[in-house]
C-alpha cells in the first residue's frame, strides 16, 4: 500500500507486541517495482501548445465552423415568423380597453380582435405561440410553488398538497388542485385565428391543441388522479379551484377527456416554467393540409380574436401572439448561425496569424536558444 514505510515508527508501542512466533522468512526487499507506472514512465502524449501545434486546429475549426454557420444561418432565415403584440398598451390598440380595465376579479371576459396580414405564405406546419415579456416565471419562489406528486395523480397529495404551494395551497378550507402559484397564474387568454378572404368573409383556421406538450409530460409526469377515470368531477371532489381560475381544473377542456384535468396540454405547457423573463409558449399547431398544395397559411389578411383574460399591465408585461414555422434547428434564431460564422472566421484569421508567428519564432524553439 501507499507509504508503507511512513508509519513504521509510529506504532512503536505496538511493534513490541506485534511479534509473533515463527516467520523469519526471507526479508522482503523494499526495492520499488520497476514498472512504468511506479516510475512515472507511462507512455504519455504531451500537448504543448505552441503556434505550430495549435495552428492546424484553428484552421480546422475555421473550416468546420463557417459552413455550419452558413447552414444554420440559412436554415434560420428560411423560417417564417410573425409576431404581434396584443397587450393593448397603446390607445390605438384594439385591446386597449380590455387591458386597461381588466383585472383578475373580472367575471366577464373581454373580447378584442386584432387584424393583421401575412406578407408571405407559411408553408408546412405553423406553430402558434403566445409570448409573455417581463414575466419572471423563473422566480425562485414561483418555480417552487407547485406539487409534482399532486400533478402526477397522487391522491393523498391531491387532498393534502405540498407546503411549497403556500399560499395557494388551500382556499376556504379545501385543498386547491392544482395548487401553487404557477398553476394559479395559468395563462388563460383564448386566441382564435381567422383568415379573411379578400371578399370580406372570414373562416376560422383550425387550431390543433393536441401535441403541444412534451410526450413525457403528457403521458408520464402529469396524470389525473384515479387513472383513466372519465368522471373527473368526482375525482376532484373536495378540492378547490385555484384562486384566479374561473373554472375548476376538470373543466379545462370538457370536450376531450384526454385533455382535461391535470393532463390538459395548455396547463402542462404552462407548468413547464420558462427560463427567461421573455418567453413564448406553444399554444396551438396549425397543421398543413395534407391533400392540397395550398400553404398552411397563405398570404393575406387575418384576424386574431382574443378573449382577454390575462392582465399583465400591472407589472408592465407584454403579451404577443407568434406564428412560426419550424426547422430541424427549432425556431427562428439567427444568432447561432452568425456566431458560428464569426467564430469560424476569427479562428481562420488567428490561424493565419499563428502561421506567421510560427514561421517567425517556431524554428527557434527547436534549437532551444531563445534569448531570455
Partner 1 sequence: MERLHWVRHRWQQMVGVDVGRGWYSSAAPLSSKSPLDAQEPPAHRLTGKRRTVVARCGPNQSEYHSVCKGYPGNSISTTKYSLLSFIPKNLFEQFHRAANLYFLFLVLLNWVPVVEAFQKEITMIPLAVVLTVIAIKDALEDYRRYCYDQKINNNSTSVYCGKQHEYVDRRWAEVRVGDLVRLCCNEIIPADMVLLHSSDPNGVCHIETANLDGETNLKQREVVRDLPQQGSEFHPENFSSHIECENPNNNLRRFRGYMEHPSKTRVGLHSDNLLLRSCTVRNTETVVGIVVYAGHETKAMQNNSGPRYKRSKMERRLNVDVLWSVVILLLMCLTAAVGHGLWLNSLKDPIYLIPGDPPPALAGFYMFWTMIIVLQVLIPISLYVSIEIVKLGQIYFIQNDLDLYNERLDTGVQCRALNITEDLGQIQYIFSDKTGTLTENRMLFRRCTIAGTEYPHHENARAQELYEEPAAEGGCSNTLRSRTSHRSLSCRSLSCNRSSTSLNTLTRDSDTHSHDDAHPTLTRGAFSSAMECVVVPDPPLQLKLGGLSSPLAPPLKQNAAELSHILDFFLALAVCNTVVVSSPTQPRHMVQLPVPRTPLSTLEDMKLLLQKLSLPRFALTSPTSANAGAQPNTPPQPSLTRRLFARGRSATFTPNTPPDPRHATLAAGATTPPPPPTAPPETSPPSRLALHPHASGDHNTDTDEDDDDESEEEEQRLYEAESPDEAALVQAARAYGFTLLGRSPEQILVQLPGTGPLSVPLLHLLPFNSARKLMSVVVRHPVTGQVVLYTKGADNVVMDLVSSDAAGGDRTGQQALIKEQTQRHLDQYAREGLRTLCVAKRVLEEAEYETWLKGHMSAETCIENREELLLDSAQRIENNLTLLGATGIMDRLQEQVPETIEALQKAGIRVWVLTGDKQETAINIACACRLQRPTDKLLTANCDSKEACEILLAELTEEIRHCEESNGGTDAGAAESPEGAAALGFTLVIDGRTLDWALQPDLEKAFLGLTQRCRSVICCRSTPLQKSQVVKLIRDTLRVMTLAIGDGANDVSMIQVADVGIGISGQEGMQAVMSSDFAISRFKHLKKLLLVHGHWCYMRLANMILYFFYKNVMYVNLLFWYQFFCGFSGSVMTNSWVLIFFNLLFTSAPPLVYGILDKDVSAETLLCIPQIYKSGQDSQAYLPSTFWLSMLDAFYQSLVCFFIPYFAYAGSDIGVLSFGSPINSAALLIILLHQVIESRTLTSLHGVVLIGSAVFYYAFGLVFSVVCVTCNSPTNPYGIELHFMSEPSYYFVSLLTTVVALLPRILIRAFCNTISPSDTVRAGIMDRLRPEEYWTCVSQWKDRLHSKNVQSSRLPPSNLSINADPPHSTDCYPEACSVLS
Shortest distance in whole angstroms from residue 224 CB to partner 1: 14
Q: Which of 160, 190, 202, 244 binds partner 1 (CB under 8 A)?
A: 244
CA distance linking residue 7 with residue 311, whole number of Å: 74
Could you say which of 79, 97, 159, 350 contacts partner 1 (CB under 8 A)? 350
**Residue among 62, 64, 68 at smallest CA distance from 337:** 68
Give the nearer residue to partner 1 in terms of CB position, either 65 or 303. Answer: 65
Q: Cell 418555480 belongs to which residue?
A: 143
Q: Residue 132: which of 271, 11, 281 has the closest Cα?
A: 281
Q: Are strands 110-118 and 300-308 parallel, antiparallel or unpaired?
A: antiparallel
Of residues 221, 241, 284, 319, which one binds partner 1 by CB under 8 A? 221
Question: Of the two residues 42 and 293, which places its CB atom closer to partner 1 in the complex?
Answer: 42
Among residues 108, 292, 293, 368, the one that binds partner 1 under rule CB under 8 A: 368
Query: Residue 200 and residue 97: Cα distance in Å, rounded?
Result: 25
Of 105-113, 118-126, 259-267, 279-287, which segment contacts partner 1 by CB under 8 A? Answer: 279-287
**Sheet strand arrangement including 300-308:** 110-118, 300-308, 190-196, 202-204
What part of residues 79-118 is at the interface with partner 1 (CB under 8 A)? 104
* Min CB(168)–partner 1 separation in Å: 8
3-state secondary structure of 336: helix
| Rounded least distance, CB 241 to partner 1, Å | 16
x-or-dash pattern for partner 1, window 31-70, by CB under 8 A? xxxx---xxx-xxxxxxxxxxxxxx-x---x---x--x--
* Rounded CA separation 191/186 (Å): 14
Contacts of 39 (CB under 8 A, 6+ apart): 32
- Binding status of residue 142 toward partner 1 by CB under 8 A: yes
Interface stretch with partner 1, choices 91-99, 118-126, 159-167, 193-201 (CB under 8 A) = 159-167
The residue within the footprint of partner 1, chosen from 220, 234, 237, 294 (CB under 8 A), is 220
Q: Looking at beta carbons only, is 16 or 199 nearer to partner 1?
A: 16
Q: Residue holding cell 402526477?
A: 152
Subset of residues 280 to 339 that bind partner 1, contact rule: CB under 8 A: 280-282, 311-312, 314-315, 317, 328-331, 333, 335-336, 339
How many chain residues interact with partner 1 (CB under 8 A)? 125
Which residues face 305 on adjacent strands? 113, 192
* Peptide bond just before 110 cis, omega within 30 deg: no
Amino acid at each position: 500500500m501507499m507509504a508503507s514505510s511512513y508509519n513504521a515508527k509510529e506504532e512503536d508501542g505496538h511493534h513490541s507486541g506485534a511479534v509473533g512466533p515463527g516467520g523469519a522468512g526471507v526479508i522482503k526487499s523494499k526495492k520499488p517495482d520497476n514498472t512504468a507506472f511506479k516510475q512515472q514512465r507511462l507512455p504519455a502524449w504531451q500537448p504543448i501548445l505552441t503556434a505550430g501545434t495549435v495552428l492546424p486546429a484553428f484552421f480546422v475549426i475555421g473550416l468546420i465552423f463557417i459552413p455550419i454557420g452558413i447552414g444554420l444561418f440559412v436554415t434560420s432565415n428560411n423560417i417564417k415568423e410573425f409576431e404581434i403584440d396584443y397587450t393593448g398598451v397603446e390607445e390605438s390598440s384594439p385591446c386597449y380597453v380590455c387591458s386597461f380595465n381588466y383585472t383578475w376579479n373580472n367575471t366577464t371576459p373581454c373580447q378584442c380582435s386584432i387584424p393583421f396580414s401575412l406578407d408571405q405564405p407559411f408553408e408546412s406546419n405553423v406553430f402558434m405561440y403566445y409570448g409573455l415579456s417581463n414575466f419572471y416565471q423563473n422566480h425562485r419562489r414561483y418555480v417552487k410553488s407547485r406539487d409534482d406528486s399532486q400533478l402526477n395523480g397522487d391522491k393523498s397529495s391531491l387532498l393534502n398538497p405540498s407546503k411549497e404551494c403556500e399560499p395557494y395551497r388551500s382556499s376556504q378550507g379545501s385543498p386547491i388542485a392544482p395548487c401553487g402559484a404557477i398553476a394559479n397564474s395559468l395563462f388563460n387568454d383564448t386566441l382564435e385565428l381567422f383568415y379573411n378572404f379578400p371578399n370580406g368573409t372570414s373562416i376560422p383556421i383550425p387550431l390543433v391543441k393536441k401535441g403541444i406538450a412534451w410526450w413525457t409530460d403528457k403521458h408520464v409526469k402529469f396524470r389525473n388522479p384515479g387513472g383513466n377515470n372519465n368522471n373527473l368531477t368526482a375525482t376532484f371532489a373536495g378540492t378547490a379551484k385555484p384562486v384566479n381560475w374561473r373554472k375548476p381544473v376538470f373543466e379545462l377542456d370538457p370536450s376531450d377527456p384526454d385533455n382535461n384535468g391535470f393532463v390538459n396540454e395548455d396547463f402542462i405547457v404552462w407548468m413547464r416554467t420558462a427560463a427567461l423573463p421573455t418567453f413564448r409558449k406553444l399554444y396551438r399547431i396549425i397543421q398543413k393540409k395534407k391533400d392540397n398544395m395550398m400553404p398552411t397559411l397563405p398570404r393575406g389578411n387575418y384576424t386574431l380574436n382574443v378573449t382577454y383574460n390575462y392582465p399583465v399591465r400591472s407589472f408592465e408585461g407584454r403579451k404577443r401572439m407568434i406564428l412560426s414555422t419550424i426547422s430541424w434547428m427549432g425556431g427562428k434564431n439567427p444568432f447561432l448561425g452568425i456566431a458560428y460564422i464569426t467564430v469560424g472566421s476569427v479562428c481562420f484569421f488567428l490561424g493565419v496569424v499563428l502561421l506567421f508567428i510560427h514561421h517567425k519564432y517556431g524554428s527557434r524553439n527547436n534549437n532551444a536558444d531563445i534569448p531570455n
